[in-house]
Amino acid sequence: MMDWKIVAGVGCASLAAAGAGYLVYRLGQKSARSDQRFPGIDKTYATDDPINLYIIDHTTINPVLMKLHKLSTSHSKGLMTTAIEQDTFLTLLTKSVNAKKVIDIGMFFGCSAMALALGLPDGGKVVGLEINSEYIENGKPFFAEAGISDKIDIRIKDAEEGLSEMIKDGESGTYDIAFLDAFKQRYPFYLEPVHTLLRPGGLFVIDNALFHGRVIDPQVDDDSTRGVRRLNNMLKNDRRFEIVLLKVADGILIARKL
């Protein structure tokens, strides 16, 4: 008979090793980003704040996702990558609501899509919308290594177009979670199609909801900041949702469809 205490111990040790490996990676990382400060950005890979390192040390990190995360953050546009603890949050959130159908709007290298897929049961599906095919090609080998390639349906197209096609295909009210991390200036335009596609009780999870702190600065009025502010305010006043805005990474707003 298998000794499950031993199995559990081995599993915990593996996860602890993954977390420790990430700490070594962050502390030893030599890049332009690691030597700079990013005011308002509270992503664990963008600062050397000891609290952020403590957060990583106390977070369950999938080792394959960690490898993809390292690759993604090393890119010249690596700040578009979700924080690793944020990815774990997405995995746990997906498991917690027993999600089977999820939308990832804006994939980049695919860390968020992979995190969502890791929380899905067999037969579950992440529909990933990404306009740049070169970005997501980087993630495919890691999806395969993690054994989740069959759970991620990558669609290379404009996100608004992709959402509209899903509605036309009769998928309204069938999705459990939609995660948004796409063009900030277009944020307000995702609200209606996402509301249509989510089931009652489904979650609209929005990344960069604090947008480096710019959302509270009246002197900042660029297109991207306006887009994030507008969606935040739309959801605040939308009686079809109940919302919470969390100071996690660069801000996560979670809106539950009533």
Contact at 8 Å (CB) between 160 and 103? no
What is the reported pLDDT for 26? Answer: 45
- Say if residue 101 is in the same domain as residue 187: yes
What is the reported pLDDT for 251? Answer: 94
- Say if residue 246 is in the same domain as residue 145: yes
Report the alpha-carbon distance of residue 82 to residue 109 in Å, rounded: 10
164: left (phi over 0), alpha (psi -120 to 50) or beta: alpha
Report the alpha-carbon distance of residue 113 to residue 246 in Å, rounded: 20
Residue 165 lies in a domain: yes
Domains identified in the chain, total number? 2
- The residues near 197 (Cβ < 8 Å, ≥ 6 apart) are 103, 163, 166, 167, 171, 172, 173, 174, 175, 178
Domain that holds residue 251: 84-257
What is the full per-residue pLDDT of the chain (258 aa) written as tens digits?
444 443 344 444 444 444 445 444 443 443 334 334 334 556 677 667 788 889 889 999 999 999 999 999 999 998 899 999 999 999 999 999 999 999 999 999 999 999 999 999 999 999 999 999 999 999 999 999 999 999 999 999 999 999 999 999 999 999 999 999 999 999 999 999 999 999 999 999 999 999 999 999 999 999 999 999 999 999 999 999 999 999 998 999 999 999
Sign of CA pseudo-dihedral 154, 157, 158, 164: negative
- Say if residue 48 is in the same domain as residue 176: no
What is the reported pLDDT for 46? Answer: 66
Phi and psi, residue 24, nearest 5°: -60, -45
- Say if residue 50 is in the same domain as residue 108: no
What is the reported pLDDT for 79? Answer: 86
- Say if residue 139 is in the same domain as residue 242: yes
Residue 23 lies in a domain: yes
Say how many C-beta atoms besides its own lie within 10 A of residue 132's C-beta: 12
DSSP-derived secondary structure letter, 236: H
Q: Where are the beta strands (DSSP E) in the chain?
A: 101-105, 125-130, 152-156, 175-180, 198-207, 241-246, 252-257
Report the alpha-carbon distance of residue 181 to residue 8 in Å, rounded: 35
What is the reported pLDDT for 27? Answer: 37
Cα–Cα distances (Å) from 186 to 53, 147, 218, in that order, read 33, 33, 20
- Say if residue 112 is in the same domain as residue 44: no
Residue 169 lies in a domain: yes
Q: What is the largest CA-CA distance in the chain?
A: 66
Report the helix count and the strand count for the chain, using DSSP H and E: 10, 7
Beta bridge partners of 177: 102, 203
- Say if residue 54 is in the same domain as residue 92: no
Residue 70 lies in a domain: no
